[in-house]
Amino acid sequence: MRWGIISTGHIAAKFADALHASESEQVVAAASRDAGRAADFASNYGIARSYGSYEALLADPEVEAVYIGLPNSMHAEWSIKTAQAGKHILCEKPLAVSRAEAITMYDAARANNVWLVEAFMYRFNPRTLKLGELLAQRAIGDVRIIRASFGFFLSDMSNVRLNAELVGGALMDVGCYCVNVARLAAGQAPSRALAAAQWAGSGVDETLAGTLEYPGGALAQISCTLSGSSHQQVQ
Amino acid sequence: MRWGIISTGHIAAKFADALHASESEQVVAAASRDAGRAADFASNYGIARSYGSYEALLADPEVEAVYIGLPNSMHAEWSIKTAQAGKHILCEKPLAVSRAEAITMYDAARANNVWLVEAFMYRFNPRTLKLGELLAQRAIGDVRIIRASFGFFLSDMSNVRLNAELVGGALMDVGCYCVNVARLAAGQAPSRALAAAQWAGSGVDETLAGTLEYPGGALAQISCTLSGSSHQQVQ
């Protein structure tokens, strides 16, 4: 598959490097709203073409699939435009900032007959696949409590993760992994959610603790922070 | 100190054994509502006297302090009677089943000039003392998230821990440790509490997930279960 990358961020760079190591995949174009930044990124990561607008990348007939590494607030808009351009979509997590947005994105992908995949890469890790298999076999019996926590310390106060307009915050950035793995463990959607948060000055949740109840009887506790020690854990 | 034991349960037996190993403490009497059971317990654990009523033990002039290992619902009544008998009290956790009960117990101990101690033995563990010291020094900076979980699998459905009238349930039995250690870590009382539970047929909480918010900015997630795998953990 020939990929275009929309974003010139840190994770987009990792994505480009990873695709260079792949036998089946290749990156053919990168885009930024800033043509100079796109050119630098393309040159740094060995990508043939760069574009100063996302629309230009979507118009590139060679691009078959697009990796969208934009801030959370822009996932829906650019996933839908990518679908309308007839290209497959790998969108960064969290896919959407609301259920309504996610449904619209899904509908756009279906209507244009393209794949829409949320970039929860950990789901494809052999360990995660094995976990899913063991849970499906009820190898540990019924799941009663799921505990998942993910946090780190964000020292750069100008980081997009602290930007409320771009729908930042701990839950959106790292807590979504906890919600996602809890769903894997529970094997179903939650029926109720409770949460408490400590808020950053910018208005986003800096630390959040949530409880999810599942109809099958499991409870999940998820917690996340942008101002704690670095940790990732599931139990 | 010369101790009397009110209860002939599993933990009371451990308590008796532990006191035999002490140089400063001794057990002189044990009581049960059933005189035969009290006599068996006293004989099994090398205790001089046994009583077929708790009142009789409280009337024993040699007894200076009483360990109360009764079901949760009986802690207040017998702590207060022990205080009124002028004896010190070591009461099993949870001390009380409500704030009002705890205050009444405290007042009774004060009025009779005796000690009233809740049996959170882990608080006296060198590791716990060191933890308290490190937290007080802010050795890890501010506490953002506290996660504490305690659970085990209760196979005996007739166990008092599943009895609603005796105020059983996961929170009362093992969750109280999580609440207690969270308070140690936060260094203050919580300002808000949220919880979700799965209920046992008997009406007590079999599994509970709770969130505590502290005015200083910390969040605690506590979880406990009587029907999960055995675990005890604080982070």
Residue pLDDT, tens place only, B13-53: 999 999 999 999 999 999 999 999 999 999 999 999 999 99
Catalytic residue chosen out of the listed positions B14, B81, B87, B93: B93
> What's the helix, strand, coil split of chain A in %, to 5?
35, 30, 35
| pLDDT given at position B140 | 82
Instruction: Name the closest residue on chain A to residue B211, using Cα atoms.
Output: A209
Question: In which band, very low, low, confident or very high, does the pLDDT at A229 lie, cut at 50, 70 and 90?
Answer: confident
Q: Choose among A230, A222, A226, A220: nearest CA to A207.
A: A226
Given the structure tokens 């043939």, which residue do they identify? A48
Best mean pLDDT range from A57-61, B6-10, B152-156: A57-61
| pLDDT given at position B94 | 96
Spatial distance between the Cα atoms of B209 and B203, rounded to a whole number of angstroms: 16
Q: Do A225 and B151 touch (CB under 8 A)?
A: no
Q: Which residues contact A68 (CB under 8 A, 6 or more apart)?
A: A6, A7, A74, A75, A78, A79, A82, A89, A90, A91, A92
Distance from A210 to chain B by nearest Cα, in Å? 8
Residue A138 gets the label, from left (phi > 0), alpha (psi -120 to 50) or beta, of: left
From chain A, pick out residues whose CB is under 8 angstroms from the CB of B225. 144-145
Distance from B164 to chain A by nearest Cα, in Å? 20
Identify residues of A whose CB sits under 8 angstroms from chain B CBs.
140, 144-145, 147, 149, 151, 192, 194-198, 207-211, 213, 217, 219-221, 223, 225, 227-229, 235
Q: Do B211 and A196 touch (CB under 8 A)?
A: yes
Higher pLDDT, B234 or B175: B175
Task: Give this complex's ipTM.
Answer: 0.76
Question: In which band, very low, low, confident or very high, does the pLDDT at A176 lie, cut at 50, 70 and 90?
Answer: very high
For the CA atoms of A117, A121, A127, A132, what is the dihedral angle to 10 degrees? Answer: -30
Q: Given a cut of 90, is residue A30 above it in pLDDT?
A: yes
| pLDDT given at position A152 | 87
Under a CB-based contact definition with an 8 Å cutoff, are residues B148 and B182 in contact? Answer: yes
How confident is the model over A208-216, as a mean pLDDT? 96
Spatial distance between the Cα atoms of B78 and B89, rounded to a whole number of angstroms: 9
How confident is the model over B123-129, as a mean pLDDT? 93
How confident is the model over B227-234, as a mean pLDDT? 78
Q: Given a cut of 80, is residue B153 above it in pLDDT?
A: yes
Q: Of the given ranges (A150-159, B91-100, B204-213), which has the lowest mean pLDDT?
A: A150-159
Distance from A230 to chain B by nearest Cα, in Å? 12
pLDDT tens for each residue of A107-165 = 999 999 999 999 999 999 999 999 999 999 988 888 899 999 999 888 888 888 999 98
| Other CB atoms within 10 A of residue B117 CB | 14
Helices B35-44 and B10-20 meet at what angle, rounded to 10? 40
What is the token pair recorded at A227? 């101002």
Question: CA dist A5 to A15, A85, A93, B95, B231, Å?
Answer: 9, 14, 15, 60, 45
Helices A10-20 and A35-44 meet at what angle, rounded to 10? 40
| pLDDT given at position A208 | 96
Specify the amino acid at residue B7: S
Domains of chain A: 2-119 (3.40.50.720), 127-234 (3.30.360.10)
| pLDDT given at position A157 | 83
pLDDT tens for each residue of A74-92 = 999 999 999 999 999 999 9
Identify residues of B whose CB sits under 8 angstroms from chain A CBs.
140, 144-145, 147, 149, 151, 192, 194-198, 207-211, 213, 217, 219-221, 223, 225, 227-229, 235
Q: Do A221 and B217 touch (CB under 8 A)?
A: no
Instruction: Name the closest residue on chain B to residue A219, using Cα atoms.
Output: B209
| pLDDT given at position A122 | 93
When the pLDDT of each residue in chain A is averaged and rounded to a whole number, the result is: 94
Catalytic residue chosen out of the listed positions A14, A81, A87, A93: A93
Question: In which band, very low, low, confident or very high, does the pLDDT at A42 lie, cut at 50, 70 and 90?
Answer: very high
Q: Given a cut of 80, is residue A37 above it in pLDDT?
A: yes
A93 is catalytic: yes
Of chain A, the percentage scoring pLDDT greater than 90 comes to 85
Q: Given a cut of 90, is residue B230 above it in pLDDT?
A: no
Q: Given a cut of 80, is residue B126 above it in pLDDT?
A: yes
When the pLDDT of each residue in chain B is averaged and rounded to a whole number, the result is: 94
Spatial distance between the Cα atoms of A125 and A92, rounded to a whole number of angstroms: 17
* Peptide bond between residue B61 and the one before it cis (omega within 30 degrees of 0): no
Q: Given a cut of 80, is residue A188 above it in pLDDT?
A: yes
From chain B, pick out residues whose CB is under 8 angstroms from the CB of A234. none
Q: Of the given ranges (A138-147, B115-124, B198-207, B216-225), which has the lowest mean pLDDT?
A: A138-147
How confident is the model over A25-34, as a mean pLDDT? 97
